[in-house]
Amino acid sequence: MNLQTIIPLKPNRYNQIDYNSKVLLLGSCFSENIGEKFEYFKFQKLQNPFGILFHPLAIESLIINAINEKTYTKDDLFFHNEQWHCYDAHSKFSNASEIELLQDLNNQIRNTHQFLKEASHIIITLGTAWAYRFIETDEFVANCHKIPQKKFLKELLSVEQISESLDAIMSLVKSVNPKVAFIFTVSPVRHIKDGFVENTQSKSHLITAIHQVTEPRSHNYYFPSYEIMMDELRDYRFYKEDMLHPNTTAVNYIWQRFKEVYISEETNTTMTSVDEIQKGLSHRPFNPHSAAHQTFLTQLEEKKQHLMTNLPHIHF
């Protein structure tokens, strides 16, 4: 008896991710979920340097600014609710200090510029096709920072706008890093604030646009995280209490499917070792002064040193 309809996925024979890979993750909050897995298993990665970016134009803007090494100045900031903000970045960067915000933004631009030139893979998770245009400047923003909605125009990006933006992103990155591979996916998180019908329309625009630009022979791929959530995990027991975000079980499941396709099989031994060390580090002993626990700590340190000797970029 089959209790699920499983989406057939085959391992990607080319451009697989291993511990020599450098992975840049950009996009919606689902990229944060997958990014946490890369962090846990100690892959080399850079995750959402400007915070969560929901729509493709915001990601394109970050790529343009990083490649051109834009220097942010006070003209790029505004003051609201006792904090300084930037329309290009997520609100987690907002700061009571104008100077600190500028330092953070410019540091992230430098980090992203360097990482783009070295990245082996860029994973882009698109969250929505709805975008907000700031009326005063007639420019799309990455985040509205709770500015009154009357100051923005809400627009549904067309399939053509999205595909053109994705093409621009790939062209820009490949101008400085021709060998990089792109993996696109659509976030399974539903944006109900836009409306149920509007969310479906938005996701359909994203999926259609991605399929217009993906081409495995050009190392541009699509991973069906949205379809896995909607089909294989079509049960509210796989959601958090808000009934919108995938819960830990769902994230682990989708990560496992992603791993089957894009993570090199040869890395499994290292991932197992990292997992053992991570669990050891989180272990809370009943008697921390016992001889048995001291032996455990010694063995754990030996495992760490052995792993870090072979892979110097790994730090615990």
pLDDT in tens, 49-71: 999 999 999 999 999 999 999 99
Helix ranges restricted to H, 87-221? 98-118, 159-176, 196-213
Predicted local confidence at residue 250, as pLDDT:
97
Sheet containing 44-47: give its strands across.
44-47, 22-27, 121-126, 181-186, 220-222
Q: Cα(236)–Cα(242) distance, rounded to whole angstroms? A: 10
- How far apart (Å, rounded) are the C-alpha atoms in residues 170 and 182? 8
Q: Which two tokens stand for residue 46?
A: 């850079």
- Assign 78 to helix, strand or coil: strand
Does the pLDDT value for residue 4 go beyond 90? no
Would you say residue 209 has pLDDT above 90? yes
- pLDDT at res. 285: 86
- Please name the residues in contact with 31: beta carbons below 8 A apart, sequence gap of 6 or more: 25, 47, 48, 52, 123, 124, 125, 187
At residue 142, the pLDDT reads 98
